[in-house]
Amino acid sequence: MKIACTGRSRALGARIAEHLGAGLAETRISRFPDGEIYLQTGPLDETTVVVGSLLSSDSLVELLLLIDACHRSEILLVVPYLGYARQDREFKPGEPVSARAMARALSSGVSRVITVNIHKEAVLSHFTVPASQLNLAPEVGDFIAGLGLSSPLILAPDRGAAPFAAAVASRGGWECDHLEKTRLSGEEVRIEPRKGGDWTGDVVIVDDIISTGGTIATAARMLHAQGAKGVHAVCVHGLFAGNALSLLRSAGIDQIAASDTIEGPESRYSAAGAIARALIR
């Protein structure tokens, strides 16, 4: 078995390879003068694990090219972050179900797909090959345990993230709760002030994705106004679009952490172990 990675998933791919004791297939990626992507892999085995997060149009093209380059082997596809999953239905007439379009495209030529904390589980049904997701709640719980906070409250910023927060909290035997969020636009949300309870300790807000940072920043300001001692944010997929990091810091977030499904300076824990275990199963 060899692991082949797209350009933005090299560190995670190397960690998965280390967990599996598998070799890395060197992948060289460059551009033609007109901007088209060129890619070439080194020697492969009978089975190739293709690892690539779907972060942008370029990363989609890289993934499609890499899958095609590996066509002589059986391909297990790992898409740690599946972009476009939030457009999971036709919200207005004439819109695509973008998640379905991506899932169909990525099913071609592969025998199985694994992703991580997909935004909505129903999206998995759009793949035309067996597809499953991993939940990094235990890894998030272990990461929080390592922060050494005393009895942190694990908080979901909205109802949708409440089951994730409960799973994280159960890892450390901590309390958990959720807020009520209304999305006003792509960048802005309204969060209802929390009623009752003790808000004077450390609060760790957990979510699947941080994109613009609007959700977490709004929650953090509200928590500070209600007397929280420290506010921390841990997500699985750290997109940190635009000025998200400065927005989060100015909202008084003490620590920001994400996994390496999207590699960046805030990647402070890894999805590699969970992915390697799923590949062995």
Query: Catalytic site residues?
Result: 181
- Picking from 260, 10, 13, 12, the residue whose alpha carbon sits closest to that of residue 2 is 13
Of 46-54, 69-77, 171-179, 207-215, the window that binds ligand R5P (rule: CB under 6 A) is 207-215
Site membership for ligand R5P, residue 87 (CB under 6 A): no
- Shortest Å, Cβ 41 to ligand R5P: 33
Considering the complex, state which of residue 73 and residue 215 has its C-beta at the smaller distance from ligand R5P. 215
Residue whose pair of structure tokens reads 């309390």 in the numeric block: 175
- Shortest Å, Cβ 86 to ligand R5P: 6
- Shortest Å, Cβ 128 to ligand R5P: 26
- Picking from 229, 231, 249, 230, the residue whose alpha carbon sits closest to that of residue 240 is 249
CA distance 126 to 43: 32
- Shortest Å, Cβ 164 to ligand R5P: 9
The site that binds ligand R5P (CB under 6 A) totals a number of residues, namely 13
| HSE-up (13 A, CA, CB side) for residue 136 | 31
273: tokens are 């172990």
91: tokens are 């919200």
Cβ burial, residue 146 (10 Å; 0-12/13-18/19+)? exposed
Site membership for ligand R5P, residue 208 (CB under 6 A): yes
- Shortest Å, Cβ 271 to ligand R5P: 17
Task: Assess contact for 165 and 154: CB atoms under 8 A.
Answer: yes
Residue whose pair of structure tokens reads 């929650």 in the numeric block: 219
Torsion of CA 240, 245, 251, 252, to 10 degrees: 120
Which parts of 209-228 interact with ligand R5P (CB under 6 A)?
Answer: 209-215
Give residues with Cβ within 8 angstroms of 35, minimum separation 6.
Answer: none
Number of residues that this document lists for the chain = 281
Site membership for ligand R5P, residue 207 (CB under 6 A): yes
Considering the complex, state which of residue 13 and residue 157 has its C-beta at the smaller distance from ligand R5P. 157
Of 17-25, 102-110, 201-209, 220-228, the window that binds ligand R5P (rule: CB under 6 A) is 201-209
CA distance 216 to 149: 19
Of 10-18, 43-51, 59-67, 208-216, the window that binds ligand R5P (rule: CB under 6 A) is 208-216
Which parts of 153-182 interact with ligand R5P (CB under 6 A)?
Answer: 157, 160-161
Considering the complex, state which of residue 56 and residue 200 has its C-beta at the smaller distance from ligand R5P. 56
Considering the complex, state which of residue 210 and residue 228 has its C-beta at the smaller distance from ligand R5P. 210
Contact residues for ligand R5P, defined by CB under 6 A: 157, 160-161, 189, 207-215
